[in-house]
Structure 1
Amino acid sequence: MQLCTVCSEQTPKYRCPACKIRYCSLDCYKRHKDTCLPVEKPASNQPKAEEAFSSDSWSVDDLLHEEDIIDRVPLQRLQLLGQSKELRDLLCNPHLRQLLRSIDSADSKDDAMKAAMQEPLFVEFSDRCLKIVENEAKGLTSCEDDL
């Protein structure tokens, strides 16, 4: 039986997203985060998503499966999302952030998205994201051109 890496007392339920150690509780996570040493990923020739979203430690490839390749949006277009003041303003809304968290943590992403699409605020957010990405696909140089 595996024990919590921090307290060595309980069975771990969680894994640190940065260094992958296993821990059992919020208290253990709080104790661990001050000494956390993130696991280094092997260097890649592909630009990483964290260059656009510096607070996250994932890449676009982590989100997609091979069968999703046809739906992949180039990183350059995704970076425009991080540059949009309008999107940042929308993300200041705690209700929208909670909707996004609930979709992210849902077991059934499809059902969570269907429920979220009933919320006008989420529809506004998703429409704005698509508009930014699609306008770049049409050759615009900035997401601000359509504001």
Structure 2
Amino acid sequence: MGPRTCEVCKEAQSKYKCPTCLAPYCSLGCFKKHKENPCKKSLPEQELMESSEILDALKDGELRKLIQKIDSSEEPENDLTKAMEGQTFREFTDKILAVLNPQNQLAN
């Protein structure tokens, strides 16, 4: 992942992240400007529940069964490792990561 641009001035390379919303910024001046409008911490659970891509993926009965199997497993790490070998589960986890950290997706 390469350097990100400051979300405030859109010019300089960011060096810092807002502790509340994780928006990248480059300087104290940009941080103060960013704080002129109150930001709020995004709730990952809410974002996941509202993601149409994730909701669509969960319509797949086999994927739901696999998730339930991992959740109720006595060896969840082993089952998760096995599940990651499958393309459908890997794509699903990629969608989750894209919702939780959209800046990484922009850099790819």
TM-score (norm 1): 0.41
**Equivalent residue, structure 1, for 2:95:** 128
Is 2:47 the counterpart of 1:83? no
Aligned length: 66
C-alpha spacing 1:79/1:136, structure 2 compared with 1 (3 Å): farther
**Equivalent residue, structure 2, for 1:13:** none
The answer to whether the 8 A contact 1:77-1:136 is kept is no
Where structure 2 has 5 or more consecutive residues not aligned to the other structure, the ranges are 1-40
Shift of 1:89: 0.5
Shift of 1:75: 6.7
C-alpha spacing 1:86/1:112, structure 2 compared with 1 (3 Å): same
Where structure 1 has 5 or more consecutive residues not aligned to the other structure, the ranges are 1-73, 139-147
Instruction: List per-residue Cα deviations over 1:43-89 (Å, max 9, x = no partner).
Output: xxxxxxxxxxxxxxxxxxxxxxxxxxxxxxx7712210000011110
Higher relative contact order structure (alpha carbons within 8 Å, sequence separation ≥ 6) = 2
RMSD: 2.4
TM-score (norm 2): 0.55
